[in-house]
């Protein structure tokens, strides 16, 4: 991993575990398997890697732990396998952030890609009308913000390599899967074609508007380009309060 995220962390591909450096805390990784997400794939009977991704929620430097907890924040890290699931690249099944009891609202998420290439897929609604659907392509060092209440799925956009990202989340996080599962997945399935991604419509949705774009900067949220989001927290611990209390950025979400 060439990108330095602001603290000492690495990943062991053989054990699917994150390794924490001196002064860094973190849990044993949780594994997500292909069998866990089959109902939300374009081809539920496909073959692919047994372990799709490995998650460690609540990592950081020991010296920062109290500041993170006091702001009801949590930093998570995720590794994605190389390979494909039938015609689809390795990805998550898609979910919405549940309403957190601490803020009585669905919360946003701030992604930062560390290694490989990702595509963060977002759709505005989880019902029959998916609304606006956006696929954001991102490389190491890029930041992508998912607004509160949006369905989102994370895709390894380069199937010949692994992908790693870190993210700021609310501490009392929760996920809602029901509506996505009832529709057999997200509104557009990413399919590998000619070295890139082709988006196949999920016929279980009635309508949507789809677009692709590259990662952008977020000056409206005070996020600095080119500075690791973990380091930005250390420099200004209140910078990501909009994650644990999304109501303070209501005007931003209305323009999302």
| pLDDT tens-digit series, residues 109-142 | 999 999 999 999 999 999 999 999 999 999 999 9
Residues 6+ apart with CB under 8 A from 35: none
For the domain that residue 36 is a member of, what is the CATH number?
A: 2.60.120.10
pTM, to two decimals: 0.96
Q: 3-state DSSP call for residue 148?
A: coil
Residue 221 lies in a domain: yes
Mean pLDDT across the chain = 96
Q: Which residues pair with 97 in a beta bridge?
A: 175
Whether the per-residue pLDDT at 256 is higher than 90: the answer is: no
Q: What is d(CA 255, CA 232) in angstroms, rounded to the nearest whole number?
A: 24
Both tokens of residue 57? 């929620």
DSSP 156-209: ES-TTS-EEEEEEEETT--EE-HHHHHTTS-SEEEEEETTEEEEEE-TTS-EEE
Residue 194 has a pLDDT of: 87
Residue 27 — pLDDT band, cuts 50, 70, 90?
very high
Report strand pairing: 163-170 vs 73-80: antiparallel
Residue 30 — pLDDT band, cuts 50, 70, 90?
very high
Whether the per-residue pLDDT at 156 is higher than 90: the answer is: yes
Residues 6+ apart with CB under 8 A from 66: none
Both tokens of residue 102? 């601490």
The residue among 233, 238, 216 whose CA lies nearest residue 225 is 216
Residue 4 lies in a domain: no
Residue 247 lies in a domain: yes
| pLDDT tens-digit series, residues 211-252 | 999 999 999 999 999 999 999 999 999 999 999 999 999 999
Q: What is d(CA 210, CA 204) in angstroms, rounded to the nearest whole number?
A: 15
Residue 10 has a pLDDT of: 97
Residue 3 lies in a domain: no
Quote the domain boundaries for residue 143.
9-254
Residue 227 lies in a domain: yes
Residue 208 — pLDDT band, cuts 50, 70, 90?
confident
Q: What is d(CA 6, CA 228) in angstroms, rounded to the nearest whole number?
A: 6
Both tokens of residue 253? 């979400």
Classify the C-alpha dihedral 67-69-73-76 as positive or negative: positive
Residue 233 has a pLDDT of: 98
Residue 1 lies in a domain: no
Residue 2 — pLDDT band, cuts 50, 70, 90?
confident
The residue among 175, 181, 192, 183 whose CA lies nearest residue 46 is 192
Whether the per-residue pLDDT at 47 is higher than 90: the answer is: yes
Whether the per-residue pLDDT at 1 is higher than 90: the answer is: no
Whether the per-residue pLDDT at 80 is higher than 90: the answer is: yes
Q: What is d(CA 206, CA 221) in angstroms, rounded to the nearest whole number?
A: 33
Based on the structure, what is the number of domains in the chain?
A: 1
Question: In 10 A of CB 33, how many CB atoms?
Answer: 12
């Amino acid at each position: 991993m060439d990108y330095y995220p602001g603290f000492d962390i690495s990943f062991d591909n053989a054990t699917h575990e994150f390794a924490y450096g001196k002064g860094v805390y973190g849990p044993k990784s949780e594994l997500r398997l292909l069998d866990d997400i089959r109902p939300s794939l374009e081809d539920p009977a496909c073959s692919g890697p047994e372990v799709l991704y490995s998650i460690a929620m609540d990592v950081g430097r020991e010296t920062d732990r109290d500041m993170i907890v006091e702001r009801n924040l949590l930093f998570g890290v995720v590794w994605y396998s190389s390979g494909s699931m039938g015609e689809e690249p390795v990805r998550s099944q898609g979910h919405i952030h549940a309403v957190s009891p601490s803020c009585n609202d669905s919360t946003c998420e701030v992604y930062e890609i560390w290694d490989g290439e990702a595509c963060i897929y977002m759709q505005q609604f989880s019902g029959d009308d998916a609304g606006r659907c956006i696929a954001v392509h991102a490389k190491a060092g890029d930041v992508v913000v998912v607004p509160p209440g949006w369905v989102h799925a994370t895709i390894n956009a380069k199937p010949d390599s692994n992908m790693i990202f870190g993210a700021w989340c609310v501490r009392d996080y929760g996920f809602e899967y029901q509506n996505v599962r009832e529709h057999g997945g997200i509104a557009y399935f990413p399919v590998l074609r000619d070295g890139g991604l082709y988006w196949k419509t999920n016929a279980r949705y009635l309508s949507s508007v789809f677009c692709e774009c590259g990662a952008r900067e977020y000056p409206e949220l005070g996020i600095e380009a080119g500075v690791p989001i973990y380091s930005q927290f250390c420099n200004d611990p209140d910078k990501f309060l909009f994650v644990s209390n999304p109501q303070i950025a209501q005007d931003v979400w209305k323009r999302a």
